[in-house]
Amino acid sequence: GESVGLHLPTLSVQEGDNSIINCAYSNSASDYFIWYKQESGKGPQFIIDIRSNMDKRQGQRVTVLLNKTVKHLSLQIAATQPGDSAVYFCAPPCLYNFNKFYFGSGTKLNVKP
Amino acid sequence: NAGVTQTPKFQVLKTGQSMTLQCAQDMNHNSMYWYRQDPGMGLRLIYYSASEGTTDKGEVPNGYNVSRLNKREFSLRLESAAPSQTSVYFCASRLTGPNEKLFFGSGTQLSVL
């Protein structure tokens, strides 16, 4: 199954700087990855996804990079804003039961004004 | 366009009391999920339902039961609440296909005294 960490590390950045949030996964057969954003008091919301046949995908101010060799995902946020303060989760589905949907260890992003 | 609706939003129970958390989705999704999130922690999968009439255990099923009443509704029951079940509970439904993703409810904050 998946290995996921549960304790949330924290990343503090200055407003206007770029943020990089990292996620490691253990399931080498995962072919689809999603990043979610969870604001305080709310449920997680979809931000961006990437398939394993891609190395990079860009959205509005966000870019996701996938390194399959080392099983690593990163989410880059350009010109970080106070509204970006949230917990960010990556999600690869479980190989052994495609219906299970485990989340990777989240990262709390604090944006300092 | 309600998406995923959870009730109640807040609940306080005494140890040993029982209650059911309700979840409904209006997106015609087959799969639904229940997660719990403890303070400063990530999401942990309690139970999921791949389709109407089926349920299966996730990472932390002990102390919980679920019912997939129909395609729209997936309830989570605590038969005898314990302080360790104090948490925020999130229900989600899953859009399957090439761009699959989870849609989350706004959560139920449960305190067990």
Question: CA-CA-CA-CA torsion for B81, B102, B26, B59, nearest 10 degrees?
Answer: -30
Instruction: Please report, rounded to a whole number, the percentage of residues in chain A having pLDDT higher than 90.
Output: 51
Pick the residue from chain A with its C-alpha nearest to B32: A99
CA-CA distance, A65 to A56, in Å (whole number)?
5
- At A93 the pLDDT is 53
Cα–Cα distance, B89 to B75 (Å, whole number): 11
CB-CB under 8 Å, A100 with B102:
no
Question: In this structure, how many other beta carbons lie within 10 angstroms of the beta carbon of residue B65?
Answer: 13
Mean pLDDT across B69-98? 94
Nearest to B33 among A6, A49, A101 (CB): A101
Q: Is the distance from CB of A70 to CB of A43 less than 8 angstroms?
A: no
Chain B, nearest residue to A92 by Cα: B101
Other Cβ atoms less than 10 A from the Cβ of A34: the count is 24
Q: What are the C-alpha distances in Å from B76 to residues A98, B26, B45, B59?
A: 22, 18, 12, 15
pLDDT tens, residue by residue, B19-48: 999 999 999 999 999 999 988 778 888 999
CB-CB contact of B61 with B78 (8 Å): no
In three-state secondary structure terms, A110 is strand
Task: Check CB contact of B61 with chain A, cutoff 8 Å.
Answer: no
Are A2 and A26 contacting, i.e. CB atoms less than 8 angstroms apart? yes
- Contact call for B100 and A7, based on CB within 8 A: no
pLDDT of residue B74 exceeding 90: yes
B:72-91 residues touching chain A, CB 8 A cutoff: 90
Contact B42 A106 (CB under 8 A): yes
pLDDT value for B1: 60
Average pLDDT of A76-89? 95
The string of pLDDT tens digits covering residues A42-52 is 999 999 999 88
* B25 inside 8 A of chain A by CB: no
Residues in B closer than 8 angstroms to A105, CB to CB, are: 42
Q: In Å, how far is A69's CA from the nearest CA of chain B?
A: 23
Structure tokens at B73: 């509704």
A26 reaches B (C-beta below 8 A):
no
Chain A closest-CA separation from residue B61 CA (Å):
13
Dig out the tokens for A53 from the structure.
């046949």
Residue B113 forms contact with A (CB below 8 Å): no
